[in-house]
Amino acid sequence: MSDARIGTNADTDARERFGRRILILDTSIRVLYPSILVLALYFVFAGHNRPGGGFVGGLVVGAALALRYVSGGAAAVRSTFRLPPHVFLGIGLFMSSFTALLPLLLGGALLEHGEIEFHLPVFDEVKLTSTLSFDLGVDFVVIGLILMAFAAFGEDLPDAPDATDDNSDSVAATVRRGPGRMTR
Amino acid sequence: MFFLLVLHLVVGIGITAGGRALGRQAFLVAAIAPLATVVWAASKASSVLDDRPVTDSFAWVEQLGISIDLRLDAFALVMVALVSGIGLLICVYSLGYFSHDQPGQARLAGILTLFAGSMLGVVLSDHLIALFIFWELTSITSFLLIGNGDTNARARAAAMQAIFITGAGGLAMLAGLIIIGQAGGTYRISELVLDPPSGGAVNAGLVLVLIGAFTKSAQAPFSSWLPAAMVAPTPVSAYLHSATMVKAGVYLVARLAPMFAMTGSWRTLVLVVGATTMLVGGLRALRQHDLKLLLAYGTVSQLGFMMLLFGAGEYHIAEAGIVLILAHGAFKAALFMVVGIIDHETGTRDIRELHGFGSATGWRVVKVVTVVSAASMAGLPPLFGFIAKEKALDGYLEHGDFAGGTAALVVIVLASILTFAYSARFVLGVLGVFGEPNREVMSVGAHSPSVLFAGPAVVLSIATVLFGLAPVLVDGVIEAATITLFPGSEPKPVELFAGFNTALLLSMVIIGCGVGLTLLRRPVADVQSRASAGLRAVPSTEQGYLAVLRSISVVATRVTATVQNGSLPIYLAVIVLTVTLVPLAAFASELDELPQFIETPTHVALVAVMIAAGLGACIVRHRIAAALMLGAVGYAMAGLYVAQGAPDLALTQFSIETLSTVLFVLVLRFLPRSWRHHAPAIAAPMRIAVAGAVGVAVFVFALSASNARSDVDEPSMSEVMIENSLPKGKGSNVVNVILVDFRGWDTMGEITVLLVAAIGAVSLARPGRRRDETGAPVFEEILDVGDEPKLPEALR
């Protein structure tokens, strides 16, 4: 418990819930985190032909963020992206609706999709359809939603008593105060 | 014709939105709309009077057969002259009334223009539904105009009262108009008049329409809002609450009476209500000290008079009604303008505080206007009001041979005596006869009104005299309007002197009794105040209105207390039982054969995990443990998808389950670790029963839904989608193609919902925690990451 009283409340609280810092967990997260992001990218890009898609891609990014939360608390999640959560939401919705509406401007039907094929050195023949940008929009909205959820519920109460004071029961007290604040 | 309505709309909105810089000059801009209308109507007058109505139509909701059909016939022309003619004068008068720029004047001018447009719509509409829409627009604009002084609690209360009463009447009227329109097979007045429907439903519809007309025209027992509305600025009162809007109810009765006067209880209802209103309004006017209230009750009385004339459905009498509408518009608007002048220059409208005015020319003119207009109201020859009264008496004498006709005539005579008396009271009040010595003298030496201020009232008085002396000027219009209302009728010409007949004798009786009542005003007032003390026991319409308001509030409180009792378990139980049990019967009847439940041994294992985790979630006492158990159910479900060969679903399910468990845990941190069971003993079995019902319903639903299309010949939707996925959707993952292409529009909706949910979750979770110095929740902080994210100590 004494160890848990160092640092910010969020930090304390995260570790209080998930146990003390675990070296193996922290180290494996460092390896896993980028790999999971690559997996998420794969899901988004391959989604049209194989299992995956924008929604799943976003959720997988969310799972990666959850891992970061476990090791670093809400601050780690916040510092992951430069952009604030609502910008993700906005970009996502804009991309999807733009992709959906663009065909109307070009004289097509709503949500009509086009495709282009070209050769790349490593990937050989690549086929890109406009559904990809639609799916990316979905992906961004999901990521934004998860970031918002962490922003909303991930942090501890800012005006809660500082965990560094000598009240060893402070974390438990914070937890007990929770419901009252939630319903205020 | 439609362009005139659009012009009112554009000018009105323009002034309201951007007219602040104009100040009181806004009224000059506002005058454009009525001026254009008057010019246009004058240019069409000859063809309209020649029985060639001008029509215009604008398709609106074609699917429902609703269009804005406009029709300018002779009766509408009379109303347009009233609405736009007086509207024009009111705009000029307002320039004098609002002699100093004050905030809110431009808004007043703008809404006044919007009102004028709505009123124009009412009188020009040939379609019942369009008429209703414009009718309600006049209610709404009237609400805004009465409540113009929005810092005055009385003004707000009066505005609410007006819109409550006229709005409720309007709703009743809508129902009535629909009944009539459906029964008649057309909503066009010009077609209904040729072949009016009848029957029980139509009778009920007519009663509803009459309720609407009575509320709008301030008939008993709905009249309380009109005197209360006198809190509005005087130009508004002069325009809406004497000359135009309150005549909308009369107008509708005038339009419908020729078709329906013989149907059901129409005539009884209109005659009883009109007679009561006319008498009660006259009696109450006689007791007022406030000049404006005196006129307001006088207006109530005159509106009752018009109801008696139009409601009978007899064209000789209705012709008198048309004369009265015009005469009343002229004298009542002029009198209101006089009250506005006195109020503006002296600061009071109480006749006990008026002690006569100086001999300045301006005040002399005002006095002449007062005497002429009040004399017209009292029915003195040779003024326009006299002709109206004469025609009314003659109409009832010669053609009032229906049930209640004689009673109506008696009421008209009695109430006309009262009208004479309160007209005299008004004149004597303005002249300062009632001025009490102990009251501060404010009127003598008051600044005399400018030409612009007094001019419009003078114009109206000139019309009163001119049309009285030479009724031949309006005879053509009035006869044509009568023929419009009653096709095939042969109205008598409008004359000042129709020979020595009974009507003239009755007029003399009225004038004689009126003079007597005026001379004996002290004893009469004593009798009235003694009688009114006795009448206190009977609730007034004002008290009735308040009682209705109170009872609505009481009922609402009780209903809310019962339905919204604040217990989450009860809300939840009601919601889930409704959504499960209601469709359950339908689903269960579709259930004919049970499918094979177990296809591979894996199913048994997965389902066993699910059941165990589900039961576990119910049993464990720690919240977070329960959340984890629910997660286990979800993972097992994902396993089931894998076993059935749906990797996409499984993938989504895994990710969703992971994240929702994490979020669950995040939220549960704020709640106590475990449940404490305070619920009564009966709660547990009830919860189990509800949960069981939900489970059974979902099970049955899943079974019958998967079988739903088995007996349909068409190829199943899923097969169509699988076939088209690659050729049309350019993707071999059919689930994704459905999401982004076949059902892409659904996905658009879903991500929009996600976005709203995200913002909602944040605003639910955070504002309680951060507040600025005023105590308002701070929302921006939550959305912004902030410049310096706080890193945990360990990571620095």
Within the 232-261 window of chain B, which residues sit less than 8 Å (CB to CB) from chain A?
Answer: none
Average pLDDT value for chain A: 73
* Paired sense of beta strands B66-72 and A115-120, if any: unpaired
Q: What is the largest CA-CA distance in chain B?
A: 112
**pLDDT value of residue A169:** 41
Mean pLDDT within B691-704: 86
* Cβ distance of B790 and A75 shorter than 8 Å: yes
pLDDT of amino acid B25: 84
Query: In this predicted structure, what is the pLDDT of residue B249?
Result: 92
What does the pLDDT read at residue B717?
75
Q: Which of B672, B740, B751 sits opposite A141 (nearest CB)?
A: B751
pLDDT of the residue at B773: 54
Tell me what ipTM this predicted complex has.
0.73
B783 touches chain A (CB under 8 A): yes
Q: How far is B14 from B4, CA to CA, in rounded Å? A: 15
In the predicted structure, residue B781 carries a pLDDT above the cut 60: no
For the ranges A127-136, B117-126, B698-707, the maximum mean pLDDT occurs at B117-126
Which of B355, B418, B360 lies closest to B389, judged by CA?
B418
Q: What is the mean pLDDT of residues B506-525?
A: 90
Average pLDDT over residues B746-762: 87
pLDDT digits (tens, 9 = 90+) for A81-98: 888 888 999 999 999 988
Of A17, A51, A178, the CB nearest to B647: A51
pLDDT band for position B305 (cuts 50, 70, 90): very high
**Contact at 8 Å (CB) between B305 and B274?**
yes
| CB-closest option in B665, B731, B759 to A48 | B731
In this complex, is the C-beta atom of B352 within 8 Å of any C-beta atom belonging to chain A?
no
Q: Which of A113, A146, A178 sits opposite B730 (nearest CB)?
A: A113
Cis? peptide before B777, omega within 30° of 0: no
So what's the pLDDT on residue A160? 39
Residues of A in contact with B782 (CB under 8 A): 151-152
Report the chain A residue with the minimal C-alpha distance to residue B781.
Answer: A151
pLDDT of B722 above 90: no
For the cut 60, the answer to whether the pLDDT of residue A157 exceeds it is no
- The residue assigned the tokens 């899943």 is B702
Name the closest residue on chain A to residue B645, using Cα atoms. A51
For A:3-22, CB contacts with B below 8 A are 6-8, 10-11, 13, 17, 21
> A with B: how many residue pairs have Cβ under 8 Å apart?
201
| pLDDT attached to residue B419 | 94
Q: What is the pLDDT of residues B229-261, one digit of tens each?
A: 999 899 999 998 888 889 999 999 999 998 888
**Which residues on A lie below 8 Å from B776 (Cβ)?**
none
Q: What is the pLDDT of residue B774?
A: 55
pLDDT surpassing 80 at residue B43:
yes
Tell me what pLDDT residue A173 has: 41
pLDDT category at B709 given cuts 50, 70, 90 is: low
Please report the pLDDT score of residue A177 as a whole number. 40
Tell me the shortest Cα–Cα distance from B671 to chain A, in angstroms.
Answer: 5
Q: How many angstroms separate the CA of residue A169 from the nearest CA in chain B?
A: 14
Task: Check: CB of residue B349 under 8 Å from CB of residue B294.
Answer: no
Q: Are the C-beta atoms of residues B392 and B412 closer than 8 Å to each other?
A: yes
Residue from B780, B774, B747, B775 nearest B762 by CA:
B780
Q: Count CA atoms within 13 Å of residue B403 on its CB side.
A: 9
Asked if the Cβ–Cβ distance from B736 to A182 is below 8 Å, we say no
Task: Please report the residues numbered 83 through 142 in chain A whose beta carbons come closer than 8 angstroms to any beta carbon of chain B.
Answer: 83-86, 89, 92-93, 96-97, 100, 110-111, 113, 115, 127, 129, 131, 134-135, 137-138, 141-142
Most distant pair of Cα atoms in chain A: their distance: 70
B343 vs B410: CA distance, rounded Å: 36
Q: Which of the residue ranges A35-39, B66-70, B749-753, B785-789 would you say has the lowest mean pLDDT?
A: B785-789
What residues in A contact B769, CB-CB < 8 Å? 157-159, 181
Per-residue confidence at A52, pLDDT binned at 50, 70, 90? confident
Strand-pair partners of B69: B57
Is B48 a residue whose pLDDT tops 50?
A: yes
* pTM of the complete model: 0.69
Confidence of residue A149 (pLDDT cuts 50, 70, 90): confident
DSSP B353-412: G-----S-HHHHHHHHHHHHHHHHHHT-TTSHHHHHHHHHHHHHHHH--STTHHHHHHHH
Mutate which of A13, A27, A97, A131 to disrupt the B interface (most B C-beta within 10 Å)?
A131
Cβ within 8 Å, pair B730-A138: no
Decide if pLDDT at B794 tops 70: no
- How far is it, in rounded angstroms, from Cα B189 to Cα B69? 10
Taking the CA of residue B661 and the nearest CA in chain A, the distance in Å comes to 10
* Residue given tokens 């109460």 in the structure block: A157
**Residue B269 predicted with pLDDT over 60:** yes
Please give the Cα distance from B715 to B712 (Å, whole number): 8
B656 vs A59: CB contact, 8 Å cut-off? yes
Per-residue model confidence (pLDDT) at position B106: 85
pLDDT of residue B370: 94
Report the gap between the CA of A164 and the closest CA in chain B (Å).
12
Contact: A145, B754; criterion CB under 8 Å: yes
Q: How does pLDDT run across B606-665, given as a tens digit for each residue?
A: 999 999 999 998 888 888 899 999 999 999 999 999 988 888 889 889 988 988 888 888
Nearest CB to A72: which of B651, B757, B795?
B795
Structure tokens at B102: 């004050």
Cβ-Cβ contacts under 8 Å, B754 against chain A: 141-142, 145
Residue B408: the pLDDT is 92
Residue (of B317, B318, B160) closest to B224 by Cα position: B160
Which residues 641-670 of B have a C-beta within 8 angstroms of A?
647-648, 651-652, 655-656, 658-659, 662-663, 665-667, 669-670
Task: Give the gap in angstroms from C-alpha B751 to the nearest C-alpha of chain A.
Answer: 6
Q: Is the CB of residue B753 less than 8 Å away from at least one CB of chain A?
A: no
CA angle B715, B720, B723 (to 5 degrees): 130
Backbone angles phi, psi at B437, to 5 degrees: -60, -30
| Nearest CB to A175 within list B669, B761, B786 | B669
| pLDDT on residue A6 | 42
| pLDDT tens digits, B115-126 | 999 999 999 999
In chain A, which among 23-42 make CB contacts under 8 A with chain B? none
If you ran DSSP here, which 8-state letter would residue B492 be given?
P
